[in-house]
Every structure is written in structure tokens, then in C-alpha cells.
Amino acid sequence: MKPRAHRNHAHYWAFVLHRVSGLLLALFIPVHFYVLGMAIESATRLDGFLSWTNTPLVKLAETMLVVLLAAHLTGGLRLMALEFFGTRESSKTAVAIGTGIALVVGLTFLLNVR
């Protein structure tokens, strides 16, 4: 067995995606609250920040965050289904469906954001 053969598997990459998305979301949450908090202190300040976000690069970053949130959701649902219902047989399909749903949610956001 090659040393890294265990990584060449959908479940390994699903584990990596769940962990990385979870960590990035945990880091993002305080930033999200800070930005929303601007609306309480000064509407002008939040509007200034929102106009700064009105660039393709920031929209892409926002879309990535939405994809990460949706991927963490579907990954978590898959994990709990595996733990509580033992749906191992179809788990590889669940990884594909979950990733697909996350990308669709991201695309829906991108098509709707202004």
C-alpha cells in the first residue's frame, strides 16, 4: 500500500472539506458579527463597507463562503446519517450529492447577488 493511498478516496476528501470549511467558518463568524454590528453603530459606515464589497473579487469570496457553509451543512448531514443510521453503502454517493448541492447553492447565490 502506498503511504498516501488512503487519501485517494472520496471519504478522505469529504473529511478534509468538512474540517477546512468548519475552521474557515469559525474564523469568519466573528468577522460577520463585526460587519453587521456596523449597522447598529453607524449606517453610513456599513454602507461604506458594503460599497467596498461591490467588486467581482469580493463577490467571488462571498460565493466561496456560501459554498463552504452549504458544503459544511451537507457534509455534516452525511456524517450524522453515517453515525446514526449507518448508511455506509451509499455514502460515496452522498459525498457527490452533498458537494453538488453546495455548488448549486453557491451558483444560486452568485446569480442573485447584486
Residues lying near another protein in the complex (CB under 8 A): 19, 22-23, 25-26, 29-30, 33-34, 36-40, 43-44, 46-47, 50, 66, 69-70, 72-73, 76-77, 80, 83, 105, 108-109, 112-114
Per the CB < 8 A criterion, the answer to whether 58 and 31 are in contact is: no
Cα distances from 59 to residues 27, 31, 35, in angstroms, run 19, 16, 16
Per the CB < 8 A criterion, the answer to whether 98 and 75 are in contact is: yes
Cα distances from 30 to residues 37, 56, 96, in angstroms, run 10, 23, 30
To the nearest whole angstrom, how small is the minimum distance from the Cβ of residue 38 to another protein?
7
To the nearest whole angstrom, how small is the minimum distance from the Cβ of residue 76 to another protein?
5
To the nearest whole angstrom, how small is the minimum distance from the Cβ of residue 70 to another protein?
6
* 10 versus 38: smaller Cβ distance to another protein: 38
